[in-house]
Amino acid sequence: MKLLVCGGSDIFFRRVLPALPGLGVAAVEVASRSGRRAPAEAPVALTYAEDALAALKTSPADAVYVSTENSRHAALALAALESGRHVVVDKPAFLDFPTAERAAELAAKKGLVLAEATVWADHPRVAAIRDAFAAAGSAPTRLSVVFSFPPLPAGNFRHDPSCGGGALPDLGPYAVSPARVFFGAAPEAATCRILARGEAVETAFCCLLAFPGGRSLAATCGFDTGYANRLEVLGPGLAAAMDRAFTPPPGAALPLSLNSPAGARTETLPPADAFAAFFGRAFAAMDKGKADADGLREDLLADARALAMVRKSASGGQEGMIPSWTSPMGGEAPGRTI
Q: What are the boundaries of each domain within the chain?
A: 2-117, 120-276+305-332
Which tops the pLDDT comparison, 184 or 294?
A: 184
Whole-model pTM: value is 0.91
How much of the chain exceeds pLDDT 90, in percent?
A: 87
Q: How many whole angstroms separate alpha carbon 53 and alpha carbon 175?
A: 31
Q: How many whole angstroms separate alpha carbon 36 and alpha carbon 30?
A: 9
199 SS3 class: coil
The answer to whether residue 326 scores a pLDDT higher than 60 is: no
130-162 residue pLDDT tens: 999 999 999 999 999 999 999 999 999 999 999
Q: Cα–chain-centroid distance for residue 279?
A: 13
Sequential DSSP letters for 314-337: HTTS-SSPPPPEE-TTSSEES---
Instruction: Return the pLDDT at 331.
Output: 31
| Residue 103 contacts residue 64 (beta carbons within 8 Å) | no
Instruction: Return the pLDDT at 42.
Output: 87
For residues 244-248, average pLDDT: 97
Q: How many residues does the chain have?
A: 338
Q: Which amino acid is at 6?
A: C
Instruction: Return the pLDDT at 293.
Output: 52
Check the CA dihedral 319-321-322-328 and report its sign: negative
82-110 residue pLDDT tens: 999 999 999 999 999 999 999 999 999 99
Q: In what order do the strands lie in the sheet containing 189-197? A: 189-197, 202-211, 215-222, 142-148, 228-235, 238-243, 254-260, 263-269
Q: How far is CA 19 from CA 163, 250, 271, 326, in A?
A: 28, 10, 14, 49
- 120-276+305-332 CATH fold: Dihydrodipicolinate Reductase; domain 2 (3.30.360)
Beta bridge partners of 192: 207
CATH superfamily of 2-117: NAD(P)-binding Rossmann-like Domain (3.40.50.720)
Judge whether 2-117 and 120-276+305-332 match in fold. no
| Residue 27 contacts residue 51 (beta carbons within 8 Å) | no
Kindly report the CA angle at 330 between 328 and 336, in degrees rounded to 5?
50
Backbone angles phi, psi at 154, to 5 degrees: -60, -35
